[in-house]
Amino acid sequence: MGNPAVRLKIIGMLLILLITGETAWCAGKYDYIDISNPMMKKIPIAVPLFKPISGNTAEIQTSDSGSKQLSNFLGFTGYFKVIDRGAFLIDTAQSDVAIPQYKAWTTVGAEFLVTGAAASQDNQLELELRLFDTINQRQLIGKKYTGHPDDQRKMIRRFCSEIMMLLIGNSGIFDSQITFVSTSGSGNKEIFIAEFDGSDARQITNNKSINLSPDMSSDGKYVAYTSYAGGKPDLYIQSLSDRKISVVDKKGMAISPAWVPGRFELAASLSFSGDPEIYLLTGNGKIINKIIESSGIDLSPSFSPDGKKMAFVSRRAGSPQIYIQDMESGKVDRVTFYGNNNTQPDWSPKGDKIVYTSLDKNVFNIVVISVNGNGAVQLTHGSGDNESPSWSPDGSMIVFSSTREGVSKIYVMTAFGTDQRRLVDLSGQQSEPKWSPNVTN
Amino acid sequence: MKKRIWVVVAMLFVLPGLLLTASCAKKAVKPDASVAKTDDDAAKRAAAEKARQDELARQKELEEARLKEEAAKREVLAARNKFMNENVHFAFDSSVLDTTAQSILKSKADWMKKNPNAPVIIEGHCDERGTVAYNLALGERRAESAKAFLVNMGISAGSMSTISYGEERPVDPGKNEEAWAKNRRAHFVIK
């Protein structure tokens, strides 16, 4: 199944059935989790091995790998505490996946339970997944997915999105990807894409020059980045399906691209007129108009979720600071006042905050601030230089780069700065991570 | 038979006589010839000596010229190397040219005036601190500020181009102020 077109068709045919039962179908209103509380208690959830229906090798494999993937995905969000399987009281292979023994699960501390059943034959996988509320003793979600065995991960991602939608009120991060810069391939800085959890990293440039600052379009079809492949820093807009590239190679530089949410347009800083100013471009790299102009450096645009406002960095007041411009009125407000070096703004998916990189006491750290400039909170402390913050599409997490272990690597943390951990496992150095929107195909 | 003996006897007398005559004649000529030869040798030796001296002088002159030429070449090369190797340095987050930077740029202007046909690339670089895109912009400002100074010194803007490498090409990978100071630079390259 190497052919992506064939795979896409099968995904298109992926059958999703609602398994009948007492299902709480009020998406987002089943409000178990207070996500605005940084000290929130993690939700204890049990994910026993999936039940192999006929017991063939493929099913046993899915039982193991599938339940592991589901546990990892839920654990990754930071909302769940996945209970260790060693504590389980019952042999799930023998029990009914549709009617769990609730007491046996509440006894080991599980407030929620996911059961799975895998049926595999003739290169087709049928995966039945259910979420139960063990305290109120009822089924919350039941889904059956059918597709090629290669789509197992996709099925599980989709079910996790259902869980998130029901318990948190949004579809989470499972259909998102992370673009970043890595020297792990040729030793030069090339552009890579990994899954939301840092797995399956793949290289999308191989020009052995310097490639920087990737940003993926809302539809997941294009990645814009700065490349020296032509001898100077130009803007490249690369189609991920056919690898075709539109190049903006005007005089000077074309740097720090950022796509407009939901549109085939992007903003970038171009310096052909003398100093770097921010322009709006079509997805093919044609200039639409100039957005930001000041004497001095203007760069690093980042749009509000509705695209009506844009945060950016300007040196107009003598040091790099974060500003916001209203796209319609052109009105500009300064957001950061503390410190002499505030750069790399990234507007939160909820629209209320901006995360950025701030230099203080000779160290770079990640700071989050309200769009009105109030309530700045430093999220990283005493752990090398921390740069390039980018929100997950649900606003629950932030990916960033850090030199805490020596060379720059990629890390994630919750939006409150907790649970900081390495994300991408590659050799060399990784930098400039950018979290893509959720892209479902 | 008797006749043959007489011939032999006669030969015995004649031959020594002939031999004597010959040796006497030789003795008479010899002194004159040897005198003439001595005069000739001296002249030849003097001429050779003079030629040798001339040649030495010529060689010395050539050598001097060669050394002079080499020194000049070395000087040109040294000036060219200095032009390329001597970087203009900047303070953190700054593209301002201090007095040291200005005096280095003045010597660069002198060189460029003497070498008006050498197209020059000015590279702007930053230290690793600061974020990638901002450092690209800052590196460009540094290269442009060096270029503007040279234009003010009378260098044609058309003979210079600029490129920023941001923090991507440090000369010193160290993580200390000494290394960072070296890396914050405008670097000159002759195309």
Distance from CA of B133 to the nearest CA of A (A): 6
pLDDT of residue B4: 65
DSSP letter (8 states) at residue A189: B
Closest by Cα among A331, A305, A275, A19 to A144: A19
Q: Which of A189, A276, A432 is opposite residue B137, by nearest beta carbon? A: A276
The pLDDT of A276-294, averaged and rounded, is 95
Beta bridge partners of A422: A411
Note the ipTM here. Answer: 0.87
Task: Place B32 in a pLDDT band, splitting at 50, 70 and 90.
Answer: low
What tens digit of pLDDT does each residue of A45-55 get? 999 999 999 99
Contact yes or no for A397/A412 (Cβ under 8 A)? yes
At residue A21, does pLDDT exceed 80? no
Closest by Cα among A298, A294, A408, A301 to A345: A301
A276 reaches B (C-beta below 8 A): yes
Q: Which of A210, A232, A256 is opposite residue B168, by nearest beta carbon? A: A210
Contact yes or no for B177/B142 (Cβ under 8 A)? no
Contact A343 B133 (CB under 8 A): yes
What tens digit of pLDDT does each residue of A98-152 get? 889 999 999 999 999 999 999 999 999 999 999 999 999 999 999 999 999 999 9
The pLDDT of A290-309, averaged and rounded, is 94
A313 reaches B (C-beta below 8 A): yes
At residue A28, does pLDDT exceed 60? no
Of the candidate ranges A349-363, B24-38, B79-93, B125-139, the one whose mean pLDDT is the lowest: B24-38
pLDDT of residue A41: 81
- Of chain A, the percentage scoring pLDDT greater than 70 comes to 90
Task: Place A169 in a pLDDT band, splitting at 50, 70 and 90.
Answer: confident
Domain ranges in chain A? Answer: 4-167, 177-435
Residues 6+ apart with CB under 8 A from A101: A90, A95
Q: Which of B93, B131, B168 is opposite residue A388, by nearest beta carbon? A: B131
Q: What is the mean pLDDT of chain A?
A: 90
pLDDT of residue A213: 98
The owner of tokens 């800083």 is A269
Question: Between the CA atoms of A334, A335, A337 and A343, what dihedral angle is there, to the nearest 10 degrees?
Answer: -100
Task: Place A188 in a pLDDT band, splitting at 50, 70 and 90.
Answer: very high
Which residues of chain A have a CB within 8 Å of the CB of B130? 341, 343, 359, 364
Q: Strand A80-82 relative to strand A43-46: parallel, antiparallel, unpaired?
A: parallel
CATH code of domain A4-167: 3.40.50.10070
At residue A305, does pLDDT exceed 60? yes
Residues of B with CB under 8 A from a CB of A: 93, 129-134, 136-138, 140-141, 144, 163-166, 168
CA dist A91 to A48, A101, A127, A342, Å?
A: 9, 11, 19, 55
For each of the domains in chain B, give its residue range(s) and CATH number, in order of start: 86-190 (3.30.1330.60)
CATH code of domain A177-435: 2.120.10.30
Contact B164 A189 (CB under 8 A): no
What tens digit of pLDDT does each residue of A269-279 get? 999 998 899 99
Distance CA A298, CA A303 (A): 15
Task: Place A328 in a pLDDT band, splitting at 50, 70 and 90.
Answer: very high
Contact yes or no for A128/A155 (Cβ under 8 A)? no
To test the contact with chain B by mutation, choose from A188, A278, A295, A343 the residue with the greatest count of B C-beta atoms within 10 A, namely A343
Which residues of chain A have a CB within 8 Å of the CB of B137? 253, 255, 269, 271, 276, 297, 299
A176 reaches B (C-beta below 8 A): no
Task: Place B155 in a pLDDT band, splitting at 50, 70 and 90.
Answer: very high
Contact A271 B140 (CB under 8 A): yes
At residue A94, does pLDDT exceed 90? no
